[in-house]
Amino acid sequence: MRAQPYRDRALVVRTHDFGEADRIIVLLTRSHGVKRGVAKGVRRAKSRFGSRLQHFVDIDVQLYPGRNLESITGADTVAFYGSGIIDNYERYTAACAALETAERLAHEGDPWLFDHLTETLARMQTTAHPTVVLDAFLLQGMTHAGWAPSLFDCAQCGAPGPHHAFHPAVGGAACVQCRPPGSAEVPEESLHLMWLLNNAHWPAALGIVAQAPHLGAVAHRLTRAHLQWHLEQKVTSLGVMDQT
């Protein structure tokens, strides 16, 4: 069967120069997961679409399937989210972290992540709290993936909260009986803040962070720890699958 070209929406995750004038582009597509493609001749000045194949441009891209790499044969701009982000260090690093995490969570046939990412980038362009916007993206992404942290009841035994310990290995908040060694000691307000972010209650969440930045810092640390733990589990289970 001959491979057919296809179109999809996409965001550029990263690029690598290749050969004399080509570029390898890693794309988070809306409906086909992560795709690696080669864009031929795009480093030449007269390239028609090279300038669109960069960070924070939402593109409508045409791809031609290849053995190892797709060929990128066309790209039209749908939206540009770079303004407000590329000239602001804090927003830029938060937006890059969102893109890189999306790359690891993406899979084929699930447009939710792409849509969630474009909404996040739009919000990132003007926010005074880039880390909070990133944390909301990560929490909602983990919920979508099926590993949301428990933020009120004990993740192990279900005892009603609030609790003051958190450990990714038990699934989030843990009661005094269930808390594993090495659990983080956490203010209940930080867990509440994470709950607000996971449920997109923006005014309430931003109000807390504006009044008590340290609660936001704890929420960020716990969110990253939970994400990290689950991504490592995923990598480990993939490694085990490769060995069988």
Residues that bind Zn ion (CB under 5 A): 154, 156-157, 159, 175, 178
Q: Which two tokens stand for residue 152?
A: 């009120």
Residue for token pair 């690891």: 104
Strands 165-167 and 184-185: antiparallel
- CB of 151: closest distance to Zn ion in angstroms? 14
Residue with tokens 């991504």: 231
Contacting residues for 10 by C-beta, under 8 A, at least 6 apart: 27, 28, 29, 30, 35, 58, 59, 60, 61, 114
> What DSSP state is assigned to residue 149?
P
Longest alpha-carbon distance in the chain:
66
Would you say 148 or 208 has its CB closer to Zn ion? 148
We find the least distance from the C-beta atom of residue 185 to Zn ion, in angstroms, to be 16
Task: Pick the closer one to Zn ion by CB: 176 or 217.
Answer: 176
Cβ distance to Zn ion smaller for residue 37 or 172? 172
Select from 185, 159, 180 the least CA-distant residue to 169.
Answer: 180
Contacts of 87 (CB under 8 A, 6+ apart): none
Least distance from Zn ion to the Cβ atom of residue 178, Å: 3
Closer by beta carbon to Zn ion, 90 or else 153: 153
Comparing CB distances to Zn ion, the nearer of 106 and 165 is: 165
CA 214/CA 184 separation, integer angstroms? 15
Kindly state the smallest distance separating residue 161's Cβ from Zn ion, in Å: 10
The smaller minimum CB distance to Zn ion, of residues 114 and 166, is found at 166
As measured in angstroms, the least distance from the Cβ of 108 to Zn ion is 37
The answer to whether the peptide bond before residue 149 is cis (omega within 30 degrees of 0) is no
Q: How far is the CB of 172 from Zn ion (least distance, A)?
A: 11
